Structure 1
Amino acid sequence: MTSFPLPPLPRATGSSAAASASPYTPNTAFRQLRGDRSPGEFAAAVRRAAREIGEHVSCDARYIGRLESGEIRCPNYAYQRVFRHLFPGLTSADMGFAPRRAVRGRARRSPESGAAAGPPALSVLPSPTGPTGPSGPTASAGLPDPTYEESDVLRRAFMTGGSAALASTLVPAQGGRDRGRTTGRAGSSEVRAVHESVRQIRLHDDRHGADGLYDDAGDALRTAYRLLDESSHGPAVAAGLASGAGELAISVGWLAHDSGRLTEARSYYAEALATARMAGDSALEAHAFCNTAFLARDAGRPREAVRAAQAAQLLARFFGSPRLLSLLALREAGGRAGLGDRRGCELALSRAHSLFASGPRDADPAWMTFFGEAELSGLAAQAWSALGAHSRAAAAAREAVRLQDPHFTRNIALYEAELALNLAASGQPEEAQAARSRALRLLGQVRSSRIRAMLVA
């Protein structure tokens, strides 16, 4: 995928002039833990350790650099659990991380001046009111600390069901000018804000469903495109903004899809495709085709689903990611099932399973964290169901429920709904009702019009 600019990473050793150029204090303890591995190799080891304990982290070389540079002083809870698993016996302090209380909700200070430093383009989220009342810093308290990666304010805003603050993370603080305008110079701070919004949308969609996120995620997307189109920036920042805006368009398209707005979803995916082609970003283009194939299948356009899946496979064959090709083969299988092409569907499913068995790779896209054994079984269940093989579909759906990480509440509800439909179609009404009841209970925690429609059909 097109890279975006990174802040300079100070070395553990070097000249005083180089050290004084950065507002961060390098984390030399964590750098020593990496040893002679490259940042990419170390990130791959972190992802493997996460899978061993059932965590999902999108760790890459850039994230390792941010930890080592001191830009992130206190990683979020998931990363801390992974690091403790990777380095048993070491505490967070041993790894060079600051106590959470030392960074929570505080503005980063410049070591020279003591003044608040850091990316000025991130505006403060309004304080959401949760079960215990208002929480988090307000605008008068200064910027939230970007080194506290799992911001209490942002997390609580989503956990209490309010995503209205999302778009505000992307609006540059431009000295009182019209909030809708983004003219000015964009830099790496804005790029990070766009990509962080993508990450937050995906995280909270997995746990809470799409319906409560869609409108405000659309506001964030419009702001991202204004940054790309109206602000001044260099080529590297332009590439980062294009990549982030395209991924954000795909995320908003998925929210539209999952909340039953299929026509709007198609428009967002088309926007992502156009962005990818203008930026020459083949990874983004493959992702957009992947989602387009899924949408086309659900919208009753199976030929379009097959064409989109095949287009994505042509792009992805050089990426070095068997898991991505596995997912794309599943997208093709779904389209072929909709056409009644049993042989073509079976071949695509067989290819998907073989590719999946090749295992994960460093080249696997960050957006594919949802794609594990459970999703493999769940998508196979949908294909078998479309072919009318309901007993086989029920077996695959049951396996998907068993394998799914409990953090992915929306997916568990989906697999339970799929199981209920296929049990009913295969003449097992009592088991079907039990699965349906479990799915409905889960829908008390997530909001997905798509899943609810399956249960009332």
Structure 2
Amino acid sequence: MENRVIARLRQNREWTQSQAAERVCDAVEAATGRRPGVDGNWISRLERGEVTWPNKDYRYGLRTIYGVTTDAQLGLYSKRTRRDRTRKEVGKSQRRTFLSLPLAGIFPEAPARLRKGDLTALGERTLALQEWDRRTGGVHTRHLVMAELRHAIDLTDTSTTPTVRAGLCSTIGNLGDLAGWTHFDAGSEAQARRVFDLALRAATEGGDPAMVCHVASGLARVELAAHHGPATLALLETAEDKVPTSALSMLAVLRAQAYALTGDERQVMKNISLAETIYSRVTHLQDDPPQFWYLTEHKLHGDIGDALFMLSQVTGKVPVELVARLRRAVDSQTSNRARAKAIAAGRLATVLYRQRARDEADHYADTALGLSRVVKSARLDSVLSDMNRSKAE
């Protein structure tokens, strides 16, 4: 039986079977250090249904390139498991036996009245999830965030004051931004866009310009990844009203990244300089709203490194500052920013391999690969694939 699910996933991305095979090889090599012998013919056999249950490394590679979390989402199955299931199918009553227990008191009910303290607790949980996302990546975090987001949305039916209602909308915006980001980091761009749209609407309804800026900048990073420079700039224009200094610095460096997509070196360097000038006026980051606490000086250097890296990809020239910026971003990041450190290390290794500085490139490649064992991120997988291609050139 043809596997139309996996064929449709490839066709939606407009990849040939050979291109899909190359991406599988890159993903497996990034994860294991070994390059498999997957080619277009193997992908063809997979789509014709001749192969229904590849080995675990190949299944990992397929899940990675198509941005899914389970083998079933690829239409894959074990033939032996399917036969066993036919013989030993568990009845519905058996599957749900534990649900026959009284559920009252097991799941917490929404409060009869929503108070400011409830929002404070929700905000603290959001901060904890943000930290977990930075340590381990969106693949591990997105389902936890979505559960918290659903809970927050349920609270909109709870009686409260107009002030707390506005705060709830802002909190939903913050959670929605994180949910959209984790979906994007896991490779689910379409779902990310839907959640970001919800978050932007919630932040706007809450009348919180700082939260609108936070969500808009998150969506702008999705547009940047899709190489939509004008859409990025348009989003950033909506996000500049009544925001803290750290956020203004971030918006400037995101504009630098948008201009990098067009190869406009003058605008890139102008906005990088502006970002640094603005950030020099930040004295106590903890005085800003909590959603901006991640905008550390290390984050700024990483974003600047990204802008210069994007510029080099378009122009084919390596900006003078690029290696130093990326090196600083890698060496200054701590373990609680594992994803950012791994991505910066992978990009730095890519640049160094292209410059034939193999010893230093190997050092940073080892750093990126080591962190990839903990961080599960489609964005990181893409960076590692570029790194491995540069190493092989």
Q: TM-score, normalised by structure 1?
A: 0.57
Task: Give, in whole Å, the separation in 1 of the partners of 2:200 and 2:378.
Answer: 25
Higher RCO, 1 vs 2 (CA within 8 Å, ≥6 residues apart): 2
Match of 1:429 among 336, 358, 362: 358
Amino acid at match of 1:200: A
Q: Which residue of 2 aligns with 1:201?
A: 129
Cα deviation 1:326-383 (Å, max 9, x = unaligned): 1110111111101222211111111001111123346523222222222222111111
How far off its partner does 1:190 sit? 2.8
Match of 2:272 among 349, 364, 376: 349
Alignment of 1:223-242 (within 5 A): 223-228=151-156, 230-242=157-169
Cα deviation 1:230-257 (Å, max 9, x = unaligned): 2222212212211211111011111112
Q: Which residue of 2 aligns with 1:376?
A: 300
How far off its partner does 1:180 sit? 9.7
8 Å Cα contact 2:252-2:275 kept in structure 1:
yes
Cα deviation 1:1-55 (Å, max 9, x = unaligned): xxxxxxxxxxxxxxxxxxxxxxxxxxxxxxxxxxxxxxxxxxxxxxxxxxxxxxx
8 Å Cα contact 2:135-2:335 kept in structure 1:
no
How far off its partner does 1:312 sit? 1.5
Match of 1:441 among 363, 367, 370: 370
Is residue 410 from structure 1 mapped to residue 339 from structure 2 by the alignment?
yes
8 Å Cα contact 2:172-2:203 kept in structure 1:
no
User: Percent of pairs identical after alignment?
Assistant: 26
Q: Which residue of 2 aligns with 1:11?
A: none
Secondary structure of 1:332's aligned partner: helix
Task: Give, in whole Å, the separation in 2 of the partners of 1:201 and 1:277.
Answer: 23
How far off its partner does 1:448 sit? 1.8
Pairs aligned (count): 278
Task: Give, in whole Å, the separation in 2 of the partners of 1:267 and 1:296.
Answer: 13
Q: Which residue of 1 aligns with 2:247?
A: 324
Q: Which residue of 2 aligns with 1:399?
A: 328
Q: Which residue of 1 aligns with 2:147?
A: 219
Q: Which residue of 1 aligns with 2:33?
A: none
Amino acid at match of 2:134: D
Amino acid at match of 1:187: R
Alignment of 1:67-78 (within 5 A): none
Q: TM-score, normalised by structure 2?
A: 0.66
Match of 1:311 among 229, 238, 260: 238
Alignment of 1:56-455 (within 5 A): 176=104, 182=110, 184-228=112-156, 230-313=157-240, 315=241, 318-319=242-243, 321-361=244-284, 363-388=287-312, 389-390=317-318, 392-455=321-384
8 Å Cα contact 1:262-1:299 kept in structure 2:
no
Amino acid at match of 2:104: G
8 Å Cα contact 1:324-1:365 kept in structure 2:
no
8 Å Cα contact 2:166-2:207 kept in structure 1:
no
8 Å Cα contact 2:185-2:379 kept in structure 1:
yes
8 Å Cα contact 1:324-1:364 kept in structure 2:
no
Task: Give, in whole Å, the separation in 2 of the partners of 1:178 and 1:283.
Answer: 37
Task: Give, in whole Å, the separation in 1 of the partners of 2:351 and 2:294.
Answer: 23
8 Å Cα contact 1:394-1:418 kept in structure 2:
no
8 Å Cα contact 2:180-2:193 kept in structure 1:
yes
8 Å Cα contact 2:253-2:275 kept in structure 1:
yes
Task: Give, in whole Å, the separation in 1 of the partners of 2:268 and 2:349.
Answer: 23
8 Å Cα contact 2:167-2:206 kept in structure 1:
no
Task: Give, in whole Å, the separation in 1 of the partners of 2:115 and 2:281.
Answer: 39
Amino acid at match of 2:292: M
Task: Give, in whole Å, the separation in 2 of the partners of 1:387 and 1:449.
Answer: 22
Task: Give, in whole Å, the separation in 2 of the partners of 1:299 and 1:442.
Answer: 25
Which segments of 5 or more consecutive residues in structure 1 lack a partner in the other structure?
1-174
Task: Give, in whole Å, the separation in 1 of the partners of 2:228 and 2:352.
Answer: 26
Amino acid at match of 2:135: R
Cα deviation 1:55-99 (Å, max 9, x = unaligned): xxxxxxxxxxxxxxxxxxxxxxxxxxxxxxxxxxxxxxxxxxxxx
Amino acid at match of 1:324: A
